[in-house]
């Protein structure tokens, strides 16, 4: 496994972004706890009722978190000696391009 300078914590950024994305996707829908096995505390049904203005900010947050994860990953590999400076710049550019898709 490559990297490790940040103890692989950059993956936490992606997990947070995915959790927020689930709230976006589930907004205005009833969600049974069993549908979200990792968040099970009891058998309640959750209902997110955030206004569109808040959901728009959630979407911005997801985008920024994913971008931060890309930067953290690329910097991690550079600092860990897995990439050189040129490769760092090339891979960062490519990863950011992929993120926009």
Residue 3 lies in a domain: no
Beta bridge partners of 30: 47
* Best CA proximity match to 3, nearest among 71, 69, 68, 73: 73
Beta bridge partners of 31: 46
Residue 33 lies in a domain: yes
Residue 25 structure tokens: 């996707």
**Number of compact structural domains in the chain:** 1
Q: Which pLDDT value is given to residue 30?
A: 78
Residue 2 lies in a domain: no
Residue 4 lies in a domain: no
Residue 31 lies in a domain: yes
Question: Cβ distance 73 to 87 under 8 Å?
Answer: no
- For each of the chain's 101 residues, which pLDDT tens digit applies? 577 888 899 999 999 999 999 999 999 887 766 555 445 455 666 678 899 999 999 999 999 999 999 999 999 999 999 999 999 999 999 999 999 88
Phi, psi of 38 (to 5 degrees): -75, -10
Q: Which pLDDT value is given to residue 47?
A: 77
Q: Which pLDDT value is given to residue 42?
A: 54
- Domain range holding 54? 10-100
**pTM summary value:** 0.82
Phi, psi of 45 (to 5 degrees): -110, 130
């Amino acid at each position: 496994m490559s990297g490790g300078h940040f103890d692989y914590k950059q993956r936490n950024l992606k997990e947070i972004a995915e959790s927020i994305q689930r709230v976006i996707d589930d907004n205005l829908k009833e969600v049974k706890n069993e549908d979200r096995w990792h968040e099970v505390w009891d058998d309640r049904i959750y209902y997110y009722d955030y206004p569109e203005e808040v959901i728009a900010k959630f979407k911005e947050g997801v985008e920024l978190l994913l971008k931060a994860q890309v930067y953290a990953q690329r910097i991690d590999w550079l600092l860990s000696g897995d990439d050189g400076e040129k490769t760092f710049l090339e891979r960062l550019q490519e990863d950011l391009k992929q993120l926009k898709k």
